[in-house]
Amino acid sequence: MSATAIRRTVLAASAVSLALLATACGGGEQGGEDKGATGGSKSEKPAAKALTAAELEKLVVAKGDVEGHEITKPGKADVFDPGAVSVEKAECEPVGQVLSALPASKPASSVQRLVVQKPEAAKKDMPSMEELAEMTEEEAQQATLDSLDITKTMTSLWSYEGDGAEQTLAALREAGKKCAGGFSMTIDGEKQQVGKVSEEKLSAGEDAVAWTVATKQDGTPGETKVVVFRQGTTLAGFSSFNIAAVTRGEAFEQPTAVIEAQAAKLG
């Protein structure tokens, strides 16, 4: 299955602009006292700063950070164009965004990595036509699925000014609750259906949301693990998909090793 075909099974939504609230006014003194002379004024707490793209490049997971995983920069076929998608329910747009490894609001900077895990069986090439012809139907199906038993996790870092990361994560949590029963969307003219957004437990960073998102395209069911956690002004997002698990109708686990490695690098 090509990278483009794989990415089409993951849903996306057009970007949502969230108003990022700046730190409100500091405390002023009552009366006519000379604050400069008495030293009674309290300085405002500086607004938290977003990390730059260069800083995020040093913090995102890299080759060698997760044992048994290949980590590379994603190609054009691995990512979505936000303008190519639309969501039926506006309140569900944040879910659709992170489901497709897009930010749920506009960050000041961002980076991404494609993390691939291949079990030993999947490291073998897909059987040739000659090899398949010598197998029973059951053996051929098993060998093909084994070669596709690959978990791909798009890992993203999005950094925001002020309390933008907190506001965005709060909006994601609310959208997940409102859209738990599912919603429909369109990607590149193709109808997609999210059947259910199921909340999962996750402890990572200072705050986190995690879901299992059940999807269906052209009658074929799928499942994506979505995790977003916050560390300071930065959100770490993970959208994880396993082709063989979808075909077999099996559940697969959150990409725990990837999440833990990213959390460690963010501190």
Strand partners, 11: none
Q: DSSP 3-state helix, strand, coil percentages of the chain (rounded to 5)?
A: 30, 25, 40
Rounded to an integer, the average pLDDT of 249-259 is: 86
Strands 151-159 and 109-117, sheet pairing: antiparallel
CA 43 vs. chain centroid, Å, equals: 37
Residue 142 binned pLDDT confidence (cut-offs 50, 70, 90) = low
C-alpha dihedral over 137, 142, 145, 149, to 10 degrees?
A: 180
CATH class of 48-78+107-180+194-266: alpha beta
Q: Please determine, for residue 199, whether its predicted confidence score (pLDDT) is greater than 80.
A: yes
- More confident call, 137 vs 236: 236
Judged by DSSP in three states, 198 sits in strand
Instruction: Give 3-58 pLDDT, tens digit per residue.
Output: 333 334 333 333 322 222 233 333 333 344 443 334 444 456 678 899 999 999 99
- 184 secondary structure, DSSP code: E
pTM value? 0.75
Q: Rounded to 5 degrees, what angle do the CA atoms 142, 147, 153 make?
A: 125
